[in-house]
Amino acid sequence: MARSARPQAVATNNTAGGSSAAAAGLGDRYKWVVLSNMLLAGLIVSIDSTIVLIGMPAIFRGVHVNPLAAGNTKYMLWMIMGFLIVTAVLVVSLGRLGDIYGRVRVYNLGFAVFTVFSILLSVSWLHGGAGANWLIVMRIGQGLGGAMLLGNSSAITTDAFPPGQRGTALGIMNIGFVAGSTVGLVLGGVLAPISWRLIFLVSVPVGLFGTIWSYVSLRDIGERRAAHIDWWGNLTFALGLIAVMIGITTGIQPYGSHTMSWTSPKVIGEIGGGVLLLAAFAVIESHVAEPMFHLRLFRIRAFTAGNIANLLTSLARGGLQFILIIWLQGIWLPEHGYNFVDTPLWSGIHMLPLVGGLLLAGPISGVLSDRFGARPFATAGPLLAAVAFFLLARLPVDFPYPAFAALLALNGIGMGLFISPNRAAVMSSLPPWRRGVGAGMTNTFQNSAQVLSIGIFFSLMIIGLAAHLPATLYHGFVAHGVPRAAAAHISHLPAVTTLFATFLGYNPVAHLLGPVLATLPPAQAAILTGHGFFPRLITQPFSAALSAAFTFAVITCLLAAAASLLRGGKHDWTDRELADAPPGAALDGLAGPPLPSPAGAG
């Protein structure tokens, strides 16, 4: 008898009821064990994605590298973005491997890999450029472990919970991931003054506990199917996405006499080559039998609209932390008496209302979306975030903190309303045997958008500063005794240097003046390096740059709300749009009763 050309299903549970029935067979307690484990993974991965932001000065002092010296800014950018880039590139492939070999198996390995590279980061013995490169490579390895965790956690949670509780479960899980990004800022500020190694070592006990706990407690109950790895798809996707993201990372650095490198042949070649490789990837995926990126999933309106909305909100919020950090560390905190060296820690503390809004709205929106559907909350969330961005742009640069905190909380509430229902709707729209790859695709859009967002926000800030900052710096320095030749030279340094100095918690004026500072009268030097001079000097140029960045965020949030509104009503995979079920797979009962409309209307 002829063998079917379609790969056969290898399902851990292929009876009616599938993964939901298997989870029920493990008892009601099992789903909460799964959720708590996924929450821990999301928390530790997101903490490590931002903890280096605040600890960067201590880290580079530890390896004897000046990140602001000529040619060294690449180290800082790759320490920030390397982790995000590798998770964006690999998360789909690792979710696909979870579909084939078992999601829990790949997830468990992810905890172990993450822990090993956290140890290697904390024991570096190298210095200078070699030390910086070691840390970057180990951060990429840590990102590999993070991608294994993120690529499978949503699918594992979806398998463990019945449809009526998935919004709640994914909401709680995603709160850990989003909240951890701000917790990492505070934790980095606390640990960095003690030892830079603690910034990486803090993840080790959590990783060891998570590795053992996940191995002992989790079970593979999702659909699995034997399949071939799409090597050409993986290769073109990885190389294309890496090339685009390297181009974005390079684009915000100076080039010749230009403030940024977007017009340099190198950046144009990187981005152009990456786009061509991604176009080749799309062609490959439409012709191979077992593609890495299942383009047919985009036929599901809930999946497509949810991912578009997720991409747009990630663009809006990805660079937000950087803008807020620069705002707080460069202007507001020094003007209110904080030393520049202390501003990284206090900027994290002052941004806690953002986490508070997320923690408040996330679980509530998850519970309510299980009852009323995702569309009302996933639409209202970006609208609230857009209002918050609009009002933030209209605050004075030296704002009253209660108003600033209230707008951060409003932004957090808006994002919290969106994230949980949107992720639950996207995952519930997928058949069980596509949840791993679908979750990976969603995480790829999110992580890629965050890297792109950093490039966009920094570019908008640099463009805004470059228009006004040189003249402001020149006249401010000359008025306080700096020789005109030195003031002219300093004022024409790339604006990104000033931004990075502020971001790292250095005194920007002391960094810009360098040896010139020692030639000035002590009274003038004290004024120039004091708490008030630089914030007052940069307020006007920064205000214009801030307005451009927040305007971009408002536009992307409004577009995200429109995408969410067009997602349709409740949509479930049992509408059978895909028609790609492997033979023998459990089609009925896996994700609840079929809905009446095959078009996905509620």
For residue 450, pLDDT over 90 is answered with no
**Contact between 419 and 171 (Cβ < 8 Å):** yes
Within a 10 A sphere around the Cβ of 142, how many other Cβ atoms? 28
- 107-124 pLDDT, tens digit each: 999 999 999 999 999 888
Q: Let me know how long the chain is.
A: 602
pLDDT at 18: 47
Residue of 514 and 269 predicted with greater confidence: 269
For residue 540, pLDDT over 90 is answered with no
Q: What is the DSSP letter of 329?
A: I
Query: pLDDT tens across 157-167, in order?
Result: 888 888 777 77
Interatomic CA distance for residues 538 and 242, integer angstroms:
35
* Residue percentage of the chain with pLDDT more than 70: 86
In this structure, is the dihedral angle defined by the CA atoms of residues 417, 418, 420 and 424, taken in order, positive or negative? positive
DSSP 584: T
Backbone angles phi, psi at 260, to 5 degrees: -140, 170
Q: Are 197 and 122 in contact (CB under 8 A)?
A: yes
Cα 534 versus chain centre, distance: 31
DSSP string, 25-50: HT-HHHHHHHHHHHHHHHHHHHHHHH
CB 428 within 8 A of CB 574: no
10 pLDDT more than 90: no
CB 558 within 8 A of CB 386: yes
- C-alpha–C-alpha distance, residues 263 and 444, integer Å: 27
Which stretch of 34-48, 71-85, 185-199 has the lowest confidence by average pLDDT? Answer: 71-85
Report residue 570's pLDDT band, with 50, 70 and 90 as the boundaries. low
pLDDT band of residue 254 (cuts 50, 70, 90) is confident
More reliable by pLDDT, 233 or 385? 385
- 69: burial class by Cβ within 10 Å (0-12, 13-18, 19+)? exposed
Higher per-residue confidence, 47 vs 257: 47
State the CB neighbour count (10 A cutoff) for residue 595: 16
In order of 12, 251, 505, 579, the CA distances from 433 in angstroms are: 11, 39, 48, 12
Asked if residue 583 has pLDDT above 60, the reply is no
Q: Report the DSSP beta bridge partners of residue 255.
A: 258
- Tell which residue, 343, 342, 322, 321, has the closest CA to residue 332: 343
Q: Cα(493)–Cα(466) distance, rounded to whole angstroms? A: 10
Give the span between the Cα atoms of 580 and 559, in whole angstroms: 31
CA distance 449 to 551: 17
pLDDT above 70 for 535 = yes
Residue 186 confidence (pLDDT): 80
pLDDT above 90 covers a percentage of the chain that reads 12
pLDDT at 507 over 70: yes
What confidence score (pLDDT) does residue 276 get?
A: 93
Helix (H) or strand (E) holding 169: helix 166-191
Quick one: tokens of 144? 């590999």
Range from 168-172, 197-201, 575-579 that averages highest in pLDDT:
197-201
Instruction: Label residue 596 by pLDDT band (50, 70, 90).
Output: very low
pLDDT at 6 over 70: no
Distance CA 156, CA 439 (A): 10
Helix axes 73-101, 231-251, angle to 10 degrees: 160
Find the helix or strand (DSSP H, E) in which 107 lies: helix 103-122
Nearby residues of 532 by Cβ (< 8 Å), 6 or more positions away: 334, 335
Please state whether 600 falls in left (phi above 0), alpha (psi between -120 and 50) or beta: left
Residues 6+ away with beta carbon under 8 Å from 211: 108, 111, 112, 115
State the residue for tokens 């904390």: 122
Query: 531-569: string of b/e by CB count within 10 Å (b at 16+)?
Result: bebbbbbbbebbbebbeebbebbbebbbbbbbbbbebbe
Q: How far apart are CA 382 and CA 442, in angstroms?
A: 18
Distance in angstroms (rounded) separating the CA atoms of residues 106 and 306: 25
Residue 378 is encoded by which pair of tokens? 């996933």
Q: What is the rounded CA–CA span in Å between residue 420 and residue 442? A: 13
∠ CA 589-593-597, nearest 5°, is 135
On the question of pLDDT at 22 being above 60, the answer is no
Cα dihedral 498, 504, 510, 511 in deg (nearest 10): -60
Q: Are 73 and 250 in contact (CB under 8 A)?
A: no
- The average pLDDT across 518-526 equals 84
